[in-house]
Amino acid sequence: MRIFEITRIRLTAWYVFIIMAISTMFSFVIYQGITHNIEASFMNAETRMERGPGQISLQMLAESRGMSTEEAKAMLHDLLVEELENSKKNVFILLLVTNGVIFSLSSIVSYYLAGRTLMPIQEMIDEQKRFIADASHELKTPLTSLKTSIEVSIQSGKLPKDIEKLFQYNLEDVNALSNLIDRLLGLASLETKKVVFSNLDLKEVIKTAVKRVRYLSKEKAIKFKISTKNYQLVGDEASLTELFVILFDNAIKYSSKGGKIDVTVKCTRTSVIIKVADNGIGISEEHLPNIFDRFYRIDSSRTLTNLHGYGLGLSLAKKIVENHRGSIKVSSELSKGTTFIIKLPLKA
Ligand code: ADP
């Protein structure tokens, strides 16, 4: 469910809660007032029956029924008590029905009003997302040409050694920026476009993702071990491939040379459980709850060690999993490694 819909429902619930709290309070006061009045009228009626003009009627009733005045009085008292209880019950039912109607009407009106209240915010967020997507798109072309020019200059071999080194650094920065733009575009497109679900083979998706990070894993001599059968599931191929690229990319980035990445897939009746485990530097417990937040990166001493990133990968990964109505969890131990566990429904 989109965040707008969730917030709208929450706001509706608050509106309804406030209206119902006021209505229940008033109903209680009204009920107390009415029943108090009915009871007072009942007492009056009884007094008039015993002492006022009703006395004659009481005697006539006793004679017609062949009973004593006391018995007739008790009979009338029972009748009046029964009427009193009936009246109280009727008032209670009436208030209950009225509250039911108020609840239904206020739910509809509150839902409509919550939508109207949130509309400007939603438009602002959409505008912001469009801006990020457009800006990222505009930045992509000059960055690609910058990257090509730097690569061509380095490969020409005509550069002095110190300039070549400088160009290498530039190339790394350009690659990092390009990566950031890809992630921003990924996030923007996930939030604006509708994902396309189709039948796909999970093993193929994993293989494609492994191919996409192959050049990085080769650089660090990191080996992949993939244990999976050919599971079929319904999902968006492009974004699921991106999900695995992010996880593999991180596993490589945060592992030492010669490390290994284990990918295991198990299937239950309704979902697949994928584990991506590395034996890298690990994540300390205090950071685990935050790593899926946007722009969250762990301490600068680690980020300074030449590891480019902007803390967007895992937030994008989480978004992709949520779009597939799945879940992503992490367990990790410092210096031992990290395992991401993804659960995806077989039918999205
Ligand atoms: P980044 O672009 O910085 O990698 P991510 O959102 O992908 O951003 O990850 C957030 C943080 O979580 C990273 O800065 C890193 O410290 C930590 N992290 C993610 N994956 C791993 C992993 N496999 N091993 C160790 N740390 C990891």
Q: Are 318 and 328 contacting, i.e. CB atoms less than 8 angstroms apart?
A: yes
Query: What percentage of the chain carries pLDDT values higher than 90?
Result: 62
Residue type, 314: L
Ligand 1: which residues within 6 Å by Cβ?
A: 250-251, 254, 278, 280-283, 291, 296-298, 302, 309-315, 338
Residue type, 191: E
Give the distance (Å) from ligand 1 centre to CA of residue 109. 45
Ligand 1 atom at minimal distance to the Cα of residue 311: 8
Ligand 1 atom at minimal distance to the Cα of residue 278: 23
Residue 272's pLDDT is what?
95
Closest CA relative to residue 248, chosen from 271, 225, 272, 273: 225
Strand bridging mode 271-278 / 260-267: antiparallel
Give the pLDDT confidence of 325-347 residue by residue, as tens digits.
Answer: 999 999 999 999 999 999 999 87
Q: Whose CA is nearest to atom 2 of ligand 1?
A: 309
Ligand 1 atom at minimal distance to the Cα of residue 340: 23
Residue 218's pLDDT is what?
94
Give the pLDDT confidence of 228-248 residue by residue, as tens digits.
Answer: 988 899 999 989 999 999 999
What pTM was estimated for this model as a whole? 0.67
pLDDT bucket at 306, cuts 50 / 70 / 90: low
Give the distance (Å) from ligand 1 centre to CA of residue 257. 17
Give the distance (Å) from ligand 1 centre to CA of residue 63. 97
User: Which ranges of the chain does DSSP label H, i.e. alpha helix?
Assistant: 3-50, 54-65, 69-156, 161-192, 202-212, 214-219, 237-253, 300-303, 313-323
Give the pLDDT confidence of 188-238 residue by residue, as tens digits.
Answer: 777 766 667 899 999 999 999 999 999 899 999 999 999 998 889 999 998
Separation between Cα atoms, residue 257 and residue 166, nearest integer Å: 25
